[in-house]
Amino acid sequence: MASTENPTPASRGSKNLGKHLGKARAAFDGLRSHGGFWLKALSQPTIDLSLRTQAGQRTRIVESPGLSLPRDELDALVEQLRIVAAKTLPEESLTYGIFSGEPERLSRAVVTLISEEDTGRPIAFNALSVMDVPLDGEPAEVTHLGLVMVDPDVRGQGLSWVLYGLTALVLFARDGLRPKWISNVTQVPAVVGMVSDTFSDVFPSPLPGARQSFAHLQLARGIMARHRAVFGVGEEAGFDEARSVITNAYTGGSDALKKTFEIAPKHRNAVYNEFCARELDYTRGDDVLQIGRIDLAGARRYIMSEVPSGSLPSLLAASAMLALQRLVLPVVYWMDDSRAFGTLRPRKQDSGAAR
């Protein structure tokens, strides 16, 4: 009589087959979910996506909520952001940018919100802003990396790859993988390092080769002249152009975010901590204004170093990036004569066409 504690080879084979089928089904479901995510990201005129980024958590990305969402849904979204902010800064309140709840302020924002899958409780968010800034006499778009807040109860759970890079990657892919300018205002060494490591051509940065081009300077001047309200910097704040440092920065509604160097989260690479200690006056309340670009090299670095390893979709995405860079992308750019890329210019438009 066969013992129930020692299954026959046939029964063990059946169990192993079932286990492999279960894993294959889970991988297929994950691939289908990520595939649907990217198809929506590339096809929607205004992004509103939801994706299961890790076990028990869902991430929603909403572009221009001030324009795309009805008022009741917009109010509900802002309330979710305030819930996270209240857990992060229980003694303070923020009044600038997205926290105002004004549709106009939220019309140029891109909100990334992470919530618990079972309860719907919001636990972290990032609020990007898209700014129009003149560059070489032409309008240019700069994506400001914006404010990041994480509920203290879930810190250390590996959320940074979603909050700091996923949305920028989505916008980059949706725009045909054309390089996009990004900006970042912070006094936190960990964030200074993340931006320097992830994006391309970043200034200021302590990394070798970092330099301020005339494009960096133009964009920084335009941001400080037109968009201080995006990151809560008052008119009385100064700007050191040579170092791209905002002096006395916490005067425009962002006062509660001011930190001492001792409590500001540090980067694992001490060079960024030393850079911030040297360049910023934390008593006065200084910030660096970093300008950089997301391009194929930066996207590849982000996918390979920030996205959790072992993720099948991330590996597929990395392969796709390499294939696009080597084979497909030059053809796409050559065939698309409606937009500029590098030295390539769009064909002339009719005199009556809008620019």
CA 13 to chain centre: 46
Residue 141 backbone class (left: φ over 0; alpha: ψ -120 to 50; beta: rest): beta
Contacts of 330 (CB under 8 A, 6+ apart): none
- Max Cα separation, the chain? 91
Taking the model in full, what pTM does it have? 0.75
Quote the pLDDT of residue 247: 97
Output the CA torsion sign for 249, 114, 272, 142.
negative
- β-bridge mates for residue 186, sequence order: 288
Structure confidence at residue 4 (pLDDT): 40
Q: pLDDT value at position 53?
A: 78
pLDDT score, position 122? 96
Burial-class residue 352 by CB neighbours within 10 Å (0-12, 13-18, 19+).
exposed
pLDDT, tens digit only, all 355 positions of the chain = 434 444 444 554 555 555 555 555 655 555 555 666 656 665 667 788 888 777 788 889 899 998 889 999 998 998 999 899 888 886 666 656 677 667 777 888 899 999 999 999 999 999 898 999 999 999 999 999 988 889 988 887 778 888 888 888 888 877 777 899 999 999 999 999 999 998 999 999 999 999 999 999 999 999 999 999 888 898 999 999 999 999 999 987 677 788 999 999 999 999 999 999 999 999 999 999 999 999 988 888 887 777 776 544 654 554 565 455 555 656 666 666 666 655 555 555 544 444 3
Report the b/e string of 297-318 with b at 16+ CB within 10 A.
Answer: ebbeebbeebbeeebebbeebb
What pLDDT, on a 0 to 100 scale, did the predictor assign at position 338? Answer: 63
Angle among Cα 155, 161, 164 to the nearest 5 degrees reads 95
How high is the pLDDT of residue 1?
Answer: 41
